[in-house]
Structure 1
């Protein structure tokens, strides 16, 4: 990969991470699934069964996008090669019960800037009711 290709991929990755957070805030499960390449895997959290189909991704993200309250904010992002690592806080829930979690996501991308794998670093004790 040339330096120019690397810069281009880094820009695509940065754009995809921003789109992911935006979609967590106000998008649909389908829009989030569109950020993934065909055959991508999601392991959220690490150790959970892999989600490997678009239908599984839409079902998974539909839990978040179906919440009446959701707000995701990025703390930091690092991009190197084909990989982005970022920490964000996600607050979800209803008016009666809200939860917060701060995972670290590790995403690997293809040359088109589509996610080929996502692994979320968190455990159930990180989920807090607020």
Structure 2
């Protein structure tokens, strides 16, 4: 396999993982989301928040989102270079009485298997909008 073929394969894996991430934010479980991460992966969401680095911490973190009465994530754009993806998406969560929208930009680094090795989310509290 040439270097270009290997890069294409990793790029394809990364693209599939990003798509699965967005899909799981909409209709998956916290475990589904945690399964996208490599062993020992780190999550800093948002940047400056305490870093989560265990599966239990990831499941707890994503459980907040997956526990919402309603949620819908929509991918806006993705850029992939080497082992890194940067993408923007909109996430609307809430219940019948109140909904919130946020549009973060995530920076993810991936291992050779297309698993997320690190994720950093770029957003701040003023980006969270009540609908």
Superposition TM-score, scaled by structure 1 size: 0.99
Q: Could you tell me which residue of structure 1 aligns to residue 36 of structure 2?
A: 35
Q: Could you tell me which residue of structure 2 aligns to residue 44 of structure 1?
A: 45
Q: Deviations over 1:85-104 (max 9, x none)?
A: 00000000011010000000
Where structure 1 has 5 or more consecutive residues not aligned to the other structure, the ranges are: none
Give the whole-Å Cα distance in 1 for the aligned partners of 2:125 and 2:55: 25
Q: Could you tell me which residue of structure 2 aligns to residue 59 of structure 1?
A: 60
Moved over 6 A (4+): none
Give the whole-Å Cα distance in 1 for the aligned partners of 2:54 and 2:11: 26
Where structure 2 has 5 or more consecutive residues not aligned to the other structure, the ranges are: none
Q: Deviations over 1:71-123 (max 9, x none)?
A: 00011000000000000000000110100000000000000000000000000
Give the whole-Å Cα distance in 1 for the aligned partners of 2:38 and 2:76: 25
Q: Could you tell me which residue of structure 1 aligns to residue 16 of structure 2?
A: 15
Q: Offset at 1:70?
A: 0.1
Give the whole-Å Cα distance in 1 for the aligned partners of 2:110 and 2:122: 18
Give the whole-Å Cα distance in 2 for the aligned partners of 1:111 and 1:120: 21
Superposition TM-score, scaled by structure 2 size: 0.98
